[in-house]
A and B are shown apart, each in its own frame.
Chain A
């Protein structure tokens, strides 16, 4: 295999990928010095590790590990319930800081974004790498924890860069140096290449990203769908996968899943958990003025086995009653006596815009309109008095008790340290430093 570069230009486009280092855990460590330098995880309320600090990572704690195992690996581990309010406040600040430099920012996830710096060298009077440095400096100092940054001619290469050195790395990969970076990079580390593709490539004796990139385009196109070929082209320095700066306006599916503890083998209790999820999912569906005609209900046992069943309705709806009626019908097939369950969930999909007032063959539209009127009122009431002031009888058991009994029922510290004038439901939109300030 030759040593010729993938592309001759450095940055025909300049794409940045920025990744918060252990984002949730860092949010916690940066606001409370008591936690700094210590192994810490978030996700206590879920019973599994959602995010771990680098200190915890070093002790072998991984994502989605169960708390008991994590605690065994590290007895002095600090376990915190997730404070999503604070994480999302800091996430918005993260995007806002990057947008000081460029309007073209793709908010990829709560702790990751892509940014297009193309053409900004002149206004800033700096090379791209210096702009990237400036963005990183602002993020690190103003948010109080570190970010890893990758600069490349496209998204795939930028992503290789941000992973290259973590935490707090800044790696620029110009087009003519891509081959150096992918030489020893295992192909499954590429963004968008999953286990199935990796397994297939292994059969073709392709293990590194460079081996993949050196294959002829005809061969790739013959064996793989378009997205994989896009990755191949981006490894050759082309800009193929566009930056998507539009905010999320609609969903393909909406999922609600909740874990409860202790686990339960009571069919009525588990059903009410499912019912609560259906209520929450349809509430979100209504918020986006959508309706769904298909749903999957599922239960998860203590052994982490999932049992699901799919249902289809005669017309799209956004009322929980319709789905709960269906759930009642299929529930006996789902619930096995003697099994212990830890979570329930629902996915609503095939979402379509809610077309109210459309008549149907059997004259049910009057009923539908009544239902819509009812839920408009329900949503207004919930907006005013809290999400769980009004719920269906079938969700009663789930609403009556805390989601988690005992230690896992802990709430985030911010929720219990309200400022004068704040209510339980309305907080000041400014992140708070925690711990004693004397």
Chain B
């Protein structure tokens, strides 16, 4: 299952508590402030006392009259993956995400109040590669794409398949060799343009064989 969306989580807390308890219609902004207030209060309790609050303590903290309401809030947070219960039913914090968060660090697995907009994370692989099965790597020789910031020795991730658009950097097959250039399409004319004044554009005599499109450049130091 995908990581729970924080937006939905906040609204559902609002639906259960906001409406039930106050009977007043609140706009989204207010809901967010309220829920982050709940979070903030439970969170600072945990930071101060180094333990999780009980249900009645949660009720007191967030201003609920009943412990049942507090328990429901806790259940909601458990199903969203922020908390869990130990063998005796007491609440314990839980790191919901296996990976590092984009926004700073989070103490003891808690979303900080500043982190209202929780962001799901991705690995560097996912970040660089869209279509895993169609992605290849190659090593750059020469400096014809120097001004595009692609230097000799760089590693380039390319994807086979998609139709190139004007301005894409492509790997094309010219005279039995790979060449990496800007793909230019102006009206009917198609040509390959280097990013270095010392090189000339290539106007293909026959049809141009574009093998792949450059998706990322990797340079290790």
A binding-site residues for B, Cβ under 8 Å: 31, 33-34, 36, 93, 96-97, 138, 141-144, 417, 419-421, 428, 430-433, 435-438
CB B162 to nearest CB in A, in angstroms, measures 9
Which residues of B (133-178) have their CB < 8 Å from a CB of A? 133-142, 144, 155-158, 160-161, 171, 173, 176-178
Counting from the closest, the 8 A-B pairs by CB-CB distance are A142-B134, A438-B142, A433-B138, A141-B161, A93-B133, A437-B178, A33-B173, A420-B220
Interchain CA distance A417-B131 in the complex, whole Å: 24
Closest to B209 in A: A33
Q: Which of A144, A421, A435, A437 has the most CB of B within 10 A?
A: A437
* A438 contacts B144, C-beta separation under 8 Å: yes
* A97 contacts B135, C-beta separation under 8 Å: no
* Selected contact of A438 from candidates B132, B155, B179, CB within 8 Å: B179
Given known A420-B220, A432-B137, contact A437–B179 (CB-CB < 8 A) = yes
Find chain B residues with CB under 8 A from A97 CB: 133
* A144 contacts B211, C-beta separation under 8 Å: yes
Given known A141-B161, A143-B160, A432-B138, contact A438–B180 (CB-CB < 8 A) = yes
Q: Could you list 21 examples of A-B contacts with CB < 8 Å?
A: A31-B136, A33-B173, A33-B176, A33-B211, A138-B161, A142-B131, A142-B133, A142-B134, A143-B160, A144-B160, A430-B135, A430-B157, A432-B136, A433-B136, A433-B137, A433-B178, A433-B211, A435-B177, A436-B142, A437-B178, A438-B180
Interchain CA distance A430-B157 in the complex, whole Å: 9
Interchain CA distance A93-B176 in the complex, whole Å: 26
Interchain CA distance A417-B173 in the complex, whole Å: 21
Find chain A residues with CB under 8 A from B156 CB: 437
Find chain A residues with CB under 8 A from B173 CB: 33, 36
Q: How many B residues face the partner with a CB closer than 8 A?
A: 29
Interchain CA distance A141-B176 in the complex, whole Å: 19
Find chain B residues with CB under 8 A from A437 CB: 138-142, 156, 171, 177-180
* Selected contact of A430 from candidates B137, B142, B160, B212, CB within 8 Å: B137
* Selected contact of B176 from candidates A36, A96, A428, CB within 8 Å: A36
* B137 contacts A431, C-beta separation under 8 Å: yes
* B220 contacts A436, C-beta separation under 8 Å: no
Interchain CA distance A180-B144 in the complex, whole Å: 57
B binding-site residues for A, Cβ under 8 Å: 131-142, 144, 155-158, 160-161, 171, 173, 176-180, 211-212, 220
Other A-B pairs, 16, CB within 8 Å; known A143-B134, A431-B137, A437-B171: A93-B133, A96-B132, A96-B133, A142-B133, A143-B160, A419-B139, A421-B220, A430-B135, A431-B136, A432-B138, A432-B139, A433-B158, A435-B178, A437-B139, A437-B177, A438-B144
Closest to B199 in A: A438
Closest to B143 in A: A438
Given known A437-B139, A438-B142, contact A33–B177 (CB-CB < 8 A) = yes
* A141 contacts B133, C-beta separation under 8 Å: no
Q: Which of B144, B155, B158 has the most CB of A within 10 A?
A: B155
Interchain CA distance A436-B180 in the complex, whole Å: 10
Closest to B152 in A: A438
* Selected contact of A436 from candidates B137, B141, B155, CB within 8 Å: B141
Q: Which of B140, B157, B160, B171 has the most CB of A within 10 A?
A: B160
Interchain CA distance A419-B137 in the complex, whole Å: 10
Interchain CA distance A429-B69 in the complex, whole Å: 51
Interchain CA distance A138-B159 in the complex, whole Å: 12
CB B221 to nearest CB in A, in angstroms, measures 9
Interchain CA distance A428-B128 in the complex, whole Å: 14
Closest to A96 in B: B133
Find chain B residues with CB under 8 A from A438 CB: 141-142, 144, 177-180
Interchain CA distance A436-B175 in the complex, whole Å: 12
Given known A431-B137, A437-B141, A438-B144, contact A34–B177 (CB-CB < 8 A) = yes
Find chain A residues with CB under 8 A from B180 CB: 437-438
